[in-house]
Structure 1
């Protein structure tokens, strides 16, 4: 059964190609992903048919009124790439016409880049063409650091130990505290060395942790940028085949979860031409094409914006950003890949984005630490909620049901089974 006829929630001065659908591509088990829901809504409101890969039939994405069809395909990210490509091609066959691929994680972005020819064969899928090796290198902490050094882009000082003995030698000269991160960003690592970003206060603490990292520690040991002397900034953009920005946005991260090191929970749009120029110059130098999500930290001690993370795909909080013409990075990509002009316009300065299920614990944690974010406006010019939307309520309630499981999940499934209408699901194995 097809979904409802999509309607726009606001006037946009452009006409999207409604004959070319979009497909949300995700690998791994993370059903509460607001970015995918945002992309479904963003294009769906323009009347573009939307499809998505989902873990099961009861994810927020599958519940969206703007989703034409959910392809239930549980994955872990550890599958052989050939199997994932085959599954994608089967989904393309079921869709029955060329579709724009919208990756929501590094695994998906890397897979698409490394198997471009197979996925683009006979026009099955549309996506930005890029050097096949570049997304994997950008998603790697070591690869990104090396690219920053090569092109003169500031980044935190870092070391990449190859053995425990390397760590012992590093610890003798290191300045503490420092930060340890997994060298590769992919969730497919079966036994990550550390759980996310880990602050290490002393030499003894480092050596104790390192004993569990094995003979070949897959970590990066990075300079710690104290939050008291830093500001967290984000850049979202879409670059065309010539690495020219067709949509570029900058903002300030107010809160994240886990605190100071995790996913954006609250952010504002703040104009920052210097940061936009830095990002555009780097993208031009490396020749990237597509959507980007960058995390940078401004170090007040030396006045530099230091690049921390480069996500070569749509960021979960991309709906924070939209220009005066109604263009966000996902809309810009769809317009460009379908031969449409991407309208220009200033970004909505002062606009705020809130992820409801993680911003409350983040707020409490930040208040306890006494940390405040410079440059965040005292009052928002408007607010975009990650989950709650008046024209698409089901994803919000689905999120709540899964967020407070198991009791609420069971009640939701009973309600979902008996509710009227719904989205179709099929299995792509």
Structure 2
């Protein structure tokens, strides 16, 4: 990241080997953390994390103080989880400061497609915190350029997905993580005009050349899985709320939970239940 000018938050990696004989985080280890509370804590291995559940477990934590940090570390490893815990400086700002970037790199490690989305809302319930709920495509060539250099410098192949947040403290976009996969909200890319399934089929099934060789999503498009009422209540910026309504009226919106040709009554009923449940979830967990 430093080589290619991709900013990231101050980060400290806590490993199981750092625990003392009592299964606790030693003070001399935690004293090495060079950023203040509140801070973010998340597991490096999400699959193993959910295989070892414990009381109060969350997908990610906003740690308020040293006592809470010690408790979460102790509970995490006592549950049987053995991989690393990632501690990061908390970048201030609400959901509207978030961005998501998805890329496709060919078998030679050349980036062929990039799509940047402006996240307006995320989920906040413990098992879903950070999951995207509303995205508008919003290009930023400078931001995408640094990541393109990073991916090609790594000779990375396949899909990549980055969570990004604007840091008003220094005016930079901080990259939180590098997911070597498509994101849960990946249909925002397809709705922007770039069907990721087509990229991999064209390359690995039909051996077709990429035309054009490199492309970025430039047109506005809307992706959302929450009711419009949730957007109206919890998206703070009135201009962004107005943009959501405009794109929806222009037919540029998509909710992949409800697709043509995918109707089964029980499925349809479950999707509506899930969608409407967001009213209760946001009322309960949104701060």
TM-score tier (shorter): 0.7 to 0.9
Provide the residue aligned with 2:186 in structure 1: 318
CA distance 1:255–1:200, change in 2 (3 Å): same
Provide the residue aligned with 1:342 in structure 2: 210
What is the count of residue pairs matched by the alignment? 251
CA distance 1:385–1:348, change in 2 (3 Å): farther
Deviation at 1:178, TM superposition (A): 0.6
Provide the residue aligned with 2:283 in structure 1: none
CA distance 1:201–1:269, change in 2 (3 Å): same
Provide the residue aligned with 1:393 in structure 2: 263
Structure 2, unmatched stretches of 5+, are 275-287
Provide the residue aligned with 2:154 in structure 1: 286
User: Which residues in structure 2 correspond to 1:86-235 (within 5 Å)?
Assistant: 148=1, 153-161=6-14, 162-163=18-19, 164-166=24-26, 169-170=29-30, 174-187=35-48, 190-191=51-52, 194-214=57-77, 218-228=84-94, 231-235=97-101
Secondary structure (helix, strand or coil) at the match of 2:118 reads: strand
Aligned-pair Cα RMSD in Å: 3.5
2:159 and 2:83 map into 1 onto residues whose CA distance is 31
Secondary structure (helix, strand or coil) at the match of 1:160 reads: strand
Deviation at 1:348, TM superposition (A): 5.3
Runs of 4+ aligned residues of structure 1 deviating over 6 Å after TM superposition are: 373-377
2:90 and 2:62 map into 1 onto residues whose CA distance is 8
CA distance 1:373–1:244, change in 2 (3 Å): farther
Greater relative CO, 1 or 2 (CA 8 Å, sep 6+): 1
Secondary structure (helix, strand or coil) at the match of 1:227 reads: coil
1:197 and 1:374 map into 2 onto residues whose CA distance is 30
Confirm or deny that 1:351 pairs with 2:221: yes
2:257 and 2:191 map into 1 onto residues whose CA distance is 21
Q: Which moved more, 1:148-157 or 1:261-270?
A: 148-157
Contact 2:159–2:180, Cα closer than 8 Å, also in 1: yes
CA distance 1:371–1:181, change in 2 (3 Å): farther
1:203 and 1:390 map into 2 onto residues whose CA distance is 51
Aligned match for 2:132, one of 260, 264, 273: 264
Confirm or deny that 1:239 pairs with 2:105: yes
1:383 and 1:303 map into 2 onto residues whose CA distance is 30
Deviation at 1:294, TM superposition (A): 1.5
Contact 1:253–1:267, Cα closer than 8 Å, also in 2: yes
Q: Give me the TM-score of the superposition, normalised by structure 1.
A: 0.51
Deviation at 1:314, TM superposition (A): 2.1
1:188 and 1:197 map into 2 onto residues whose CA distance is 11
Contact 1:294–1:309, Cα closer than 8 Å, also in 2: yes
Q: Give me the TM-score of the superposition, normalised by structure 2.
A: 0.73
- Which structure has the greater CA radius of gyration? 1
